[in-house]
Amino acid sequence: PKVLHQVPADSIAPSPKSTQIPLLHFPSASQYIIPRPEFCSKLITFCTPTHRVLSHPVCLQSTSYARNAYTFSIALVLDVSTPFASYATVTFKLASLLRTLEESSRFLSSDLSPPNTGKIYALCEILLEDLNNYCESMIPIDDSNTLNIKLFPTYPPPPPLYPYHVPLSTVRLENLTDPNWDLTMLRVLPHINGINSVKRISLLADADYKLVRKAIEHLLYYGCLLLLDIFSFGAIYAPTAELGTFVEDTEMQEECARYVELPVEATGEGSKRDPIDGFQMLELYLDLKQGQTVRTFYIEHAERMDKIDVRRFITFGVIKGFLYRVHKYAIATRQTSRRKRDHDTRTKQKKSASVAVEARDDETNADLMELEKFLDGTHCFDEICTELMIDEQELTKRLKAIGDVQIICR
């Protein structure tokens, strides 16, 4: 095997007069770049201590060649730490195009240009320049063929998405939409407002929950959404150690004041009023604590919160990472489960009860039995309320009806 073209020159197989240190030792790597026929038409990748090589060798069998076969490969050399998933697609596409050109017009084998010259070298040079500078390239090959390559970024998998999560857009989704978008996506977007949960969005959009979840996961993958908790005045929030960043960053304090400020029309104070002070925001965040609900906090600071949207006030802290939600979990004892079953049995044995009363009792017992599967300490109140389609007040009422249930905040 030999290197016909390399960009930059002397980067892989330097000339005898070159003083440049090659990126890798080609004699040792040649068996992976031009391998045996059994390994052709497959993506081959290998690493050196500093670089990663992606190649897709192609072997064409034909009596028109001197040895009845022609083997070639185009390889990309990357830094070893570079994510290579998108480059693997580029390598495959390049190999496929060159194979088609060789089969149709002997594009490679008929090129007798000296190394690092000619049309193939020019193609490699333009491709390297375009991918490094623009992450895409469009190169006309001949009248019938054009090379179109684009590097698509690889993002980490989105976080787990549950029915009780509340998506909040980080971009103007309406500016990204297109009439040719997925129908479920177009029905979902108007209901993403930082208030509705995933399950509620599926109900409002009148769409299947699984399809809605897939659409939201797609937006999460591309960084168009953040996930929040369901906001309620009965929720508890507390500051984290990251609050120190908010203390030192005056720009963040000003951003917070702009984000949480109520519109003038909502306060009824006329067109002129004093702006919200960033230091005032800091004092309010410091007053949030464990065991204190948002309702209690708002009542205690009603005068200072008259210009502030309390939901946005909490949301800003969660987004920036200096507030965290204290979730509630319920744990039922074994005695509770046995006592409830005994109560159900006694209820059914009352022969004097009317049919209407028995139907109502059966419905109540069914609700309690459905709730009991969530009482193992691993399901937060948000999840339980979303799954059962009830509010926290109704949930608390049912928990009292069950019996001895411990509620843990963490």
Residues 57/44, Cβ–Cβ less than 8 Å: yes
> What local confidence, expressed as pLDDT, does residue 13 receive?
84
CA–CA distance, 379 with 371 (Å, rounded to integer): 11
Pick from 74, 70, 76: which is nearest to 47 by CA? 76
Say whether pLDDT at 81 is over 60.
yes
Q: Position of tokens 């190169």?
A: 139
Say whether pLDDT at 193 is over 50.
yes
Residues 377/330, Cβ–Cβ less than 8 Å: yes
> What local confidence, expressed as pLDDT, does residue 381 receive?
95
Confidence label for 64 from pLDDT (cuts 50, 70 and 90)? confident
Say whether pLDDT at 53 is over 80.
yes
Confidence label for 353 from pLDDT (cuts 50, 70 and 90)? very low
Confidence label for 358 from pLDDT (cuts 50, 70 and 90)? low
Q: How far is CA 26 from CA 12, 22, 55, 408, in A?
A: 6, 9, 13, 63
Q: How far is CA 378 from CA 139, 231, 330, in A?
A: 56, 20, 8
Q: What tokens appear for 127 in the block?
A: 């491709």
Strands 69-72 and 136-140: unpaired
CA–CA distance, 353 with 347 (Å, rounded to integer): 9
pLDDT mean over 220-224: 92
Interior/surface letters 243-276, b for 16+ CB within 10 angstroms, e for the rest: beebeeeeebbeebbebbbbeeeeeeeeeeeeeb
Backbone angles phi, psi at 138, to 5 degrees: -135, 110
> What local confidence, expressed as pLDDT, does residue 275 receive?
77
Pick from 78, 71, 32: which is nearest to 55 by CA? 32
